């Protein structure tokens, strides 16, 4: 127990709940600030003891000691930052703004301590004589690299400026996130007349009514916004004016000149990142970031994006011509607009393949998707089983807690599912951990998946769109990476891998959504229990590539926009966000007005408040590995324990404890090939 913290504070000692699950039923807002204060002080004292140790540096008294330090700080930070994303409030937001620069300064104090760096450097220089095992040797290399990348070798004056930059960047990133959440809530579209919602399913209308009721808008309907530019309801809304309102609300986020405007915030972030990269010896932020990823250089990452862009745009333009014809049948003389694409795309898909979201949603009930789809596939591949634990506390009534068991019945960890949208949750979908697996610390994983599914009225089923089912499988792929981690050092646990590798296992997990055995197990009508008709299954398989022109182009536009912001130099003075964005898209050859970027700059949370700055290319980079791995599974019999065990042993269990591409080569038996990706994306002419 920490002596500086009241014993009544639930963070004062490790949780006694199974797997170290935080005692959410005891944690209140007032517990965080003193726990952070005590955690920072305790960690600083532990690091000081390591740095000031009069004994010569050894792997144990320096590197392992660092791995063991900061447990109190880790406990409070893991809970706090999970909740500021999934269930925040003004108290937590104020504290986040206060604590973010303190944490940045704390990290700098560690990495810029010349005594500590001296010990790490000495060990690194004689690493060949230390007799370390492979994982320990890799840890030493990573710690040394982290110190160098943090500026440990810079002159004192440059280090002081670096501290200032990191503190301001942490504050700005927090502000970007909070502005976006407020503006997203503020821009939700209010509809007065149910007739304007024609085309939506009955449960979608009910969810809109429920959302309005939750804000006191009795008798009205509220269309809340998802994080990307294109909103799911655009595919169903028949009223073109309502579609336009919804789209314009989406692209207005963070750029309305109000208190939530992110324009100055993001230009300042980009400028400070450019200055920091220059201090650290790189031409721009992208070069700094990607030098430590599997891509190696910004040129390699940008090169892949630019290679794919022309064919993707050509496909999108071809599809747009077809959609234009459909639009003119309804509105003669009208021009296809961004808010029309999803609606007429669904109409084409229905006409061509006789399948659309309205037909599919009754077969995609949330609990069945999770238990009989996501969990079922994990059982077939890895032997995992899941038991819901109603006796364990969660941080919100919506959250479900499952205990996960290995194939031999041994307890493995906990999985938390937080599936519904709410005003206190940021947009998008993500996985995170409350406890990281580590042999050194004797800890097993506690993992959470967050989605943003509209809540139906009480007692009614939660029916998912096709894309929401994909997301459920995708995010659980991240969860598996954490749950199946089998590493010694917490630094390497689960998804602690290069950013352009982390999406790979989660993308692979998407393949099981339409795998016949899995689909047959979960895709059953929520009222009758009848399985998804075979003709629809066949149509789904045939339609898998439809719409790739749009989805690839909107993604590439966002990824190239990310690179544009992060290849500016410290001398560039960018103030006109819209102008910069337009010029960047035009230069990259992806300026297609009817296909806007998946995220525009002012609500591009991945790169301005998440961990994907200069790294949004990671999704397509990882997809090269993913598509190649899907081919491997198909070639070797698909959904089998033998295949799952091989993937688990050589990839998922490794976390970051080895070179990621070496792990891929061990799994696949060769380097990745791009052809499967090109086939999947309809880009075989590239």
Catalytic: 475? Answer: yes
Q: What are the CA-CA distances from residue 214 to residues 193, 209, 218, 456, 461 (Å)?
A: 18, 9, 9, 12, 18
Position 497 pLDDT exceeds 80: yes
What are the tokens at 223?
């269309």
Nearest in space to 382 (alpha carbons), one of 82, 91, 639, 621? 639
d(CA 192, CA 190): 7
Rounded to an integer, the average pLDDT of 518-532 is 97
Instruction: For the domain covering 263-351+548-634+659-680, report its CATH number.
Output: 1.10.1370.10
Q: Please identify, in words, the CATH class of the domain defined by 18-153.
A: mainly alpha
Average pLDDT for the chain: 96
CATH fold, domain 361-545, is 1.10.1370
pLDDT tens digits for range 144-168: 999 999 999 999 999 999 999 999 9
pTM of structure: 0.94
Question: Chain-centre distance of CA 562, in angstroms?
Answer: 16
pLDDT at 2 (0 to 100): 63
Position 1 pLDDT exceeds 70: no
pLDDT at 684 (0 to 100): 83
Query: Beta partners for 190?
Result: 222
Rounded to an integer, the average pLDDT of 579-583 is 98
pLDDT at 3 (0 to 100): 64
Name the pairing type of β-strands 446-453 and 430-435.
Answer: antiparallel
Domain 18-153 and domain 361-545, same fold? Reply is no
Cβ partners under 8 Å of residue 114, min gap 6: 152
pLDDT tens digits for range 284-333: 999 999 999 999 999 999 999 999 999 999 999 999 999 999 999 999 99
Q: What is the DSSP letter of 427?
A: S
Q: What is the DSSP letter of 685?
A: T
Please name the residue that has the structure tokens 């197990």.
521
Nearest in space to 492 (alpha carbons), one of 478, 482, 477? 482
pLDDT at 38 (0 to 100): 98
The ranges assigned to domains in the chain are 18-153, 187-252, 263-351+548-634+659-680, 361-545
d(CA 656, CA 491): 8
What are the tokens at 676?
């499967």
pLDDT tens digits for range 68-102: 999 999 999 999 999 999 999 999 999 999 999 99
Residue 250 burial by CB count (10 A; 0-12/13-18/19+): exposed, middle or buried? buried
Catalytic one among 67, 443, 468, 475? 475
Answer whether 382's CB lies under 8 Å from 645's CB: yes
φ, ψ of residue 463 in degrees (nearest 5): -105, 130
Residue 156 burial by CB count (10 A; 0-12/13-18/19+): exposed, middle or buried? exposed
> How does residue 686 score in pLDDT terms, banded at 50, 70 and 90?
low
d(CA 205, CA 331): 25
The helix (H) or strand (E) run that includes residue 530 is none
Residue 68 burial by CB count (10 A; 0-12/13-18/19+): exposed, middle or buried? middle
What are the tokens at 684?
């075989």
Name the pairing type of β-strands 221-223 and 189-191.
Answer: antiparallel
pLDDT tens digits for range 584-614: 999 999 999 999 999 999 999 999 999 999 9
d(CA 597, CA 649): 38
What are the helix (H) ranges across 544-651?
A: 548-565, 577-588, 605-608, 618-635, 641-650
Pick 471 or 355 by higher pLDDT: 471
pLDDT tens digits for range 111-148: 999 999 999 999 999 999 999 999 999 999 999 999 99
What are the helix (H) ranges across 9-88?
A: 32-51, 65-68, 71-86
Number of Cβ within a 10 Å radius of residue 268: 16
pLDDT tens digits for range 393-411: 999 999 999 999 999 999 9
d(CA 249, CA 235): 16
d(CA 678, CA 509): 19
> How does residue 357 score in pLDDT terms, banded at 50, 70 and 90?
confident
């Amino acid at each position: 127990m920490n002596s500086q913290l009241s014993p009544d504070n639930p963070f004062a000692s490790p949780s006694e709940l199974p797997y170290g699950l935080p005692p959410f039923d005891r944690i209140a807002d007032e517990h965080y600030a003193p726990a952070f204060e005590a955690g920072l002080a305790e960690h600083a004292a532990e690091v000081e003891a390591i740095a000031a140790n009069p004994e010569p540096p050894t792997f144990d008294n320096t590197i392992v000691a660092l791995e063991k330090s900061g447990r109190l700080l880790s406990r409070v930070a893991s809970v706090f930052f999970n909740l500021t994303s999934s269930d925040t409030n003004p108290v937590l937001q104020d504290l986040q703004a206060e604590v973010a620069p303190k944490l940045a300064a704390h990290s700098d104090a560690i990495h810029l301590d010349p005594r500590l760096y001296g010990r790490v450097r000495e060990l690194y220089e004689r690493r060949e004589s230390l007799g370390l095992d492979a994982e320990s040797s890799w840890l030493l290399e990573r710690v040394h690299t982290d110190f160098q990348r943090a500026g440990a070798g810079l002159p004192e004056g440059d280090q002081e400026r670096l501290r200032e930059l990191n503190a301001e960047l942490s504050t700005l990133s927090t502000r970007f996130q909070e502005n976006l959440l407020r503006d997203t809530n503020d821009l939700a579209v209010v509809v007065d007349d149910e007739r304007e919602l024609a085309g939506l399913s009955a449960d979608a209308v009910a969810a809109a009514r429920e959302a309005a009721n939750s804000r006191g808008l009795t008798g009205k309907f509220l269309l809340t916004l998802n994080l990307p530019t294109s909103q799911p309801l655009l595919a169903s809304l028949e009223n073109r004016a309502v579609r336009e309102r919804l789209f314009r609300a989406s692209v207005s986020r963070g750029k309305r000149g109000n208190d939530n405007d992110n324009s100055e915030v993001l230009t300042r972030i980009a400028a400070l990142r450019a200055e920091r990269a220059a201090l650290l010896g790189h031409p721009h932020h992208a070069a700094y970031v990607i030098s430590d990823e599997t891509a190696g250089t910004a040129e390699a990452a940008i090169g892949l994006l630019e290679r794919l862009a022309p064919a993707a745009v050509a496909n999108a333009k071809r599809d747009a011509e077809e959609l234009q014809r459909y639009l003119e049948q309804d509105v003669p003389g009208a021009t296809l607009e961004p808010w029309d694409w999803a609606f007429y795309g669904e109409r084409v898909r229905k006409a061509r393949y006789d399948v659309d979201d309205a037909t599919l949603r009754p077969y995609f009930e949330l609990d069945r998707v999770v238990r009989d789809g996501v969990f079922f596939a994990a059982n077939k591949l890895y032997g995992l089983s899941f038991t819901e634990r109603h006796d364990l506390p969660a941080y919100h009534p919506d959250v479900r807690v499952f205990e996960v068991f290995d194939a031999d019945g041994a307890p493995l960890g906990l999985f938390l599912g937080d599936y519904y949208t709410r005003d206190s949750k940021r947009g998008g979908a993500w996985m995170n951990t409350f406890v990281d697996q580590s042999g050194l610390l004797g800890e097993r994983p506690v993992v959470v998946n967050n989605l943003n599914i509209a809540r139906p009225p009480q007692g009614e089923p939660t029916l998912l769109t096709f894309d929401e089912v994909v997301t459920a499988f995708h995010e659980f792929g991240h969860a598996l990476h954490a749950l199946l981690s089998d590493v010694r050092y917490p630094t390497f646990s689960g998804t602690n891998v290069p950013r352009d590798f982390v999406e790979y296992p989660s993308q692979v997990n998407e393949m099981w959504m339409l795998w016949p055995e899995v689909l047959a197990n979960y895709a059953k009508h929520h009222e009758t229990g009848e399985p998804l008709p075979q003709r629809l299954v066949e149509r789904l398989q045939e339609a898998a590539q439809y719409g790739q022109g749009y989805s690839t182009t909107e993604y590439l536009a966002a990824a190239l926009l990310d690179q544009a912001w992060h290849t500016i130099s410290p001398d560039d003075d960018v103030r006109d966000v819209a102008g910069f964005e337009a010029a960047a898209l035009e230069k990259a050859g992806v300026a297609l007005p009817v296909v806007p970027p998946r995220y525009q700059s002012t609500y591009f949370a991945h790169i301005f408040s998440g961990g994907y700055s200069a790294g949004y290319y990671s999704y397509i980079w990882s997809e090269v590995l993913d598509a190649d791995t899907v081919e491997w599974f198909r070639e070797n019999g698909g959904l089998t324990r033998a295949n799952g065990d091989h993937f688990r042993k050589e990839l998922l269990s490794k976390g970051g404890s080895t070179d990621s591409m070496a792990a891929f080569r061990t799994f696949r038996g060769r380097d990745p090939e791009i052809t499967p990706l090109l086939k999947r994306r309809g880009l075989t002419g590239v």
